[in-house]
Amino acid sequence: MVLEWIAIGIVVLIVLLAVYFYNKLVGLNNQAEADWKQIDPILQQRLDTIPNLIAMAKRVMKQETELFTGLAKAREGAQNAKDIKGKIEANQQLGALIGTLYARAEAYPEMKSNTTMATAMEALAGIEDKIKYGRQRYGYTVQEYINATTTFPGMLFAGIFGFKGDKWPYFKADDAARKAIDAGKLLEE
């Protein structure tokens, strides 16, 4: 009789754990998807803003054609990316080039005095701040999801229910973004 109650207790415990972990994993998966859905339109807003910014900057920064070509190619790559991982990688490259544009713009006083250009740069800076906040929130959710799918006992239930720890990719710093900007070199150009 005692062994039967112990067996029933173990079964009930396993069922409760399975329900708990299933609900937790579904919730984290849904949160990661919702966080991504908040970032995606902001990334599109960034893509829509860049052509106007490039057009205005080209008037002032005539010798920066390599930068503008890179921005245009990176924007095109971001627009053509099909999955989340591709969008993340393309937008990281684009973000690094936008940082370069800001740094090089400092060397052109006429850009600072152009109110239209200043307004466009300010709008893009606001978009970049929204992306940064969205990436941070998304990163926290992805980390929690990965922890839930790769730690014991969650990993057992994740495997049973088909949740994979690598489903949601991270934003990572682009190699160009990791390098310090040489302001002296920028001012020489």
Residue-wise pLDDT tens digits, 138-182: 999 999 999 999 999 999 999 999 999 889 987 775 555 555 545
User: Where do the structural domains in the chain lie, given as residue ranges?
Assistant: 2-188
Question: Rg of the chain's alpha carbons, rounded to an integer?
Answer: 24
What pLDDT band is residue 188 in, cutting at 50, 70 and 90? low
Out of 4-13, 100-109, 148-157, 158-167, which region has the weakest mean confidence (pLDDT)? 100-109
DSSP per residue, 111-168: HHH-HHHHHHHHHHHHHHHHHHHHHHHHHHHHHHHHHHHHSTTHHHHHHHHT--TTSS
Share of the chain above pLDDT 70, in %: 90
Tell me what the mean pLDDT of segment 96-119 comes to: 82
What is the model's pLDDT at position 39? 95
What is the model's pLDDT at position 186? 43
Distance (Å, whole) CA 189 – CA 180: 17
Instruction: Please say whether the beta carbons of 48 and 109 come within 8 A.
Output: no
Pick the CATH number of 2-188 from 2.60.40.2310, 3.40.190.10, 1.10.760.10, 1.20.1440.20: 1.20.1440.20
Res. 189: pLDDT tops 50: no
What is the model's pLDDT at position 180? 52
Distance (Å, whole) CA 18 – CA 31: 20
What pLDDT band is residue 53 in, cutting at 50, 70 and 90? confident
Tell me what the mean pLDDT of segment 2-7 comes to: 94
What pLDDT band is residue 183 in, cutting at 50, 70 and 90? very low
pTM for the complete prediction?
A: 0.79
Distance (Å, whole) CA 128 – CA 136: 12
